[in-house]
Structure 1
């Protein structure tokens, strides 16, 4: 006969192990290099094209270079082909992307549904290490992607969690 305290301890250990093992397997995707990516140019002059506002908050790592003069571009979008692209976020004269800093950008672009990919492009010789990028907008859920790596020079680098959009989904 099993004693009640031993049985309760066994059940507790089983539940703890079971839930703990699942929580470890759910991790945020790691940023990666994207060899063939060409951002869409935002066509704000199109008739009947809706324009939405986004707030992009980029936190620069405390282990990044003190400041960077590198050019930084961003592209993000949804599984339906809606994409926001900004060719140059940085402003080397304003202290953008300094070590341990947080920079906030107000961006207008095509309306997206839930953002499922984000890529950054760094061009220059200084180097830059973003810690995280948070985006929220009028019609999207807030998303945060964690980088915490030095971006390679001259290539798009980021996260893509998109699944193909369903053909039956309403647009």
Structure 2
């Protein structure tokens, strides 16, 4: 440990890991899970958008996954009337009457995904129908979210969504704690 004084922190971690029996004490890679995000845009007139869409989702253990530009993660579109995947047709995501799939990498959740927020940045409107996040690999499908139903035009430049994590049943109904996001 004396030799690590002018060296990097990584050197110290490596040396310390060798001293404790070869087990690495380096921080875990939190970007090791892949998620499939499915978002439907409603068929209402002018429901589609070409604006930037942000996504934020997570679980009860404060594992928060933020996607700054969901448009760039587009994988494919699925025709809701025909379950056929339309991969060969180049187009923009979030068009009216379409279902889009995106692939996102982020830290792994330890409990089921229970909140999802969308943020629209730009000048035109967008009316999503539903959004859903599913784990791609492994046997962690029980951690996937239910559908989050929007069916309204999203406000611009503000997070809008649902938090089903922290809720309490009261005599007056279900009380939800509100999340506040600054970015």
Q: TM-score, normalised by structure 1?
A: 0.64
Q: Of residues 129, 133, 149 in structure 1, which corresponds to 2:152?
A: 149
Query: What is the CA-CA distance between 1:149 and the residue it aligns to?
Result: 0.5
Q: What CA deviation, in whole Å up to 9, does each residue of 1:28-80 have, x standing for no partner?
A: xxxxxxxxxxxxxxxxxx83124111111000000152642211000000111
Q: Of residues 89, 107, 110 in structure 1, which corresponds to 2:107?
A: 110
Say whether the 8 Å CA contact 1:64–1:128 is kept in structure 2. Answer: no
Is the alpha carbon distance of 1:87 and 1:64 closer, same or farther for their aligned partners in structure 2, counting shifts above 3 Å?
A: farther
The separation in 1 between residues aligned to 2:70 and 2:165, in whole angstroms, is 24
Partner SS state of residue 150, structure 1: coil
Q: What CA deviation, in whole Å up to 9, does each residue of 1:74-100 have, x standing for no partner?
A: 000011110111001125983210000
Superposed CA RMSD in Å reads 2.2
Say whether the 8 Å CA contact 1:64–1:130 is kept in structure 2. Answer: no
Q: TM-score, normalised by structure 2?
A: 0.60
Gaps of 5+ in 2: 1-25, 75-89, 168-183
Gaps of 5+ in 1: 1-45, 165-171
With a CA cutoff of 8 Å and minimum separation of 6, indicate the structure with the bigger relative contact order.
1
Segments ≥4 residues shifted beyond 6 Å: none
Say whether the 8 Å CA contact 2:93–2:100 is kept in structure 1. Answer: yes
The separation in 2 between residues aligned to 1:124 and 1:71, in whole angstroms, is 7
Count of residue pairs the alignment pairs up: 119
Partner SS state of residue 90, structure 1: helix
Q: Of residues 124, 129, 132 in structure 1, which corresponds to 2:130?
A: 132
